[in-house]
Each structure stands twice: as C-alpha cells, then as structure tokens.
Amino acid sequence: MADPTLPRADEAPGTIAAQVNKGQQFTSFDVNAFEIPNQREEVWRFTPFRRLRGLHDGTAVRTADPSIVVDGVTDGVTVETVGRDDQRLAEGGAPFDRVAAQAFSSFTDATVITVAKETELAEPVFVKVDGPGAGEVGFGHIQIRLEAFARAVIVLDQQGSGTYAENVQFVVGDHAHLTVVNVHDWADDAVHVAAHHIGVGRDAIVRHFAVSLGG
C-alpha cells in the first residue's frame, strides 16, 4: 500500500498527498490542489470573504509589487533579492492553504535575510514592508534564516495600502534563538493575508509576537 505522506507522481515536489492525522496539514505549491475556502470550514469560519478582494478564489491578479526595505544590517547579516527558483525557498515550508499557494505562485522576487553562524546581534533588524498601493494587488515572499547558534531580534513592520498576500518563512538552525515582532500598521484601505512558516532546528528557540493596529 502506498505511503499517503509521500507525493504522488502527478504532484509537485513538497506536496503532501493526504492528511494522516490532525497534526499533519495538507500542503502543496499548486494553487489548484486546494478548494476555494468557505465558511463551512472551521479554520475559515469567521473570515469575511467578500472583503478579501479575491485573494482566496484566484480572482485577485498581481498589478504591483510591495516595497521591502531592511534596516539594521550589520556584520554577519546578509540581505538578498532572489528569484523564485532559489532552492532555499522550498526549505521554508510549503503552502497550507489556497491563499498561501496563490501568493507563492504569484510573487516576482523574494527577500532572503540570513544571520550567520554564531552571530549574536546586539540590535534588532527592521524589515519594513509597504503594500503595493491603493487600488493595487501584490504578492510577496520573505525568508529569514538563522544559522546554528545565531541570536537575533527581527521586527517585521508592515504598513501601506492595497491588497496584499504573502508567505513569511523562518528557518532557524540548531541552537539558534530568534525573536520576531510583527507589527501590522496598515492603512484603512488595506487587505492583508499572510502565512507564517516556522522551521525550528534542534534545541532552537523561537518567540513570535504579532501586534495589529490597522487595516
């Protein structure tokens, strides 16, 4: 009998073909592998779909890109803009719902921030994300990587206007220590849907705080 946790021959790499138990979510990079969500599903029960501007059903089409600026970069920290073919992006986890899969298949460039092995940052790194703009639709991808024994505080400051969906991946190496502060300070017109993926190495620690002020 086939192992239900392995990808079928007709599925993209990284796909989990079936959900074995409640602790294992179906994941796929293929948008069409997911049904359009509805309020009969528990996880979406309180979602105001009419206000999502098509992010959940494929009718939202990219018209502009977000602006991503990284401040506080010092020795031991690198910031890269990479294409969707960068193999590291697959290490951060596959999308687990249709919006995340749409964002993964629609972004143009990804921002990868890496804190080198055994680097301990005395000050936070600030990642400022501005939405695509009023009346625009954008998709984004950010990956934050801490190599073994690194320690860092990352402030993800999100603001601006528009309709925006993204994946944010945290890849935390063995014995590393990451603190994330995610501030949502969107303009009143903004619609934002994000999926955060966290991979934690052996004896690593991740603390994640989210503060919503607008949008």
Please give the structure tokens belonging to residue 69.
Answer: 């600026």
Q: Containing H/E element for 183?
A: strand 177-186
Residue 5: inside a domain: no
Residue 81: inside a domain: yes
Domain count, the chain: 1
User: What does the alpha-carbon distance between residue 185 and residue 93 come to, in Å, rounded to a whole number?
Assistant: 26
Range of the domain at 200: 63-212
Provide the residue type at 163 as one letter. Answer: T
What pTM, to 2 d.p., does this model score?
Answer: 0.85
Residue 116: inside a domain: yes
Residue 153: inside a domain: yes
Residue at token pair 């969707």: 84
Per-residue pLDDT at 6: 39
Q: Do residues 155 and 127 lie in contact, with contact meaning Cβ atoms separated by under 8 Å?
A: yes
Residue 96: inside a domain: yes
Residue 100: inside a domain: yes
Sign of CA dihedral 162, 164, 169, 170: positive
Maximum Cα–Cα distance across the chain: 53
Q: From first to last of its 215 residues, what are the pLDDT tens digits of the chain?
A: 444 333 433 444 443 333 344 457 889 999 999 999 988 888 888 888 989 999 999 999 999 999 999 998 999 999 999 998 999 998 888 999 999 999 999 999 999 999 999 999 999 999 999 999 999 999 999 999 999 999 999 999 999 999 999 999 999 999 999 999 999 999 999 999 999 999 999 999 999 999 988 76
Q: Do residues 190 and 131 lie in contact, with contact meaning Cβ atoms separated by under 8 Å?
A: yes
User: What does the alpha-carbon distance between residue 173 and residue 146 come to, in Å, rounded to a whole number?
Assistant: 6
Residue 182: inside a domain: yes
Residue 56: inside a domain: no
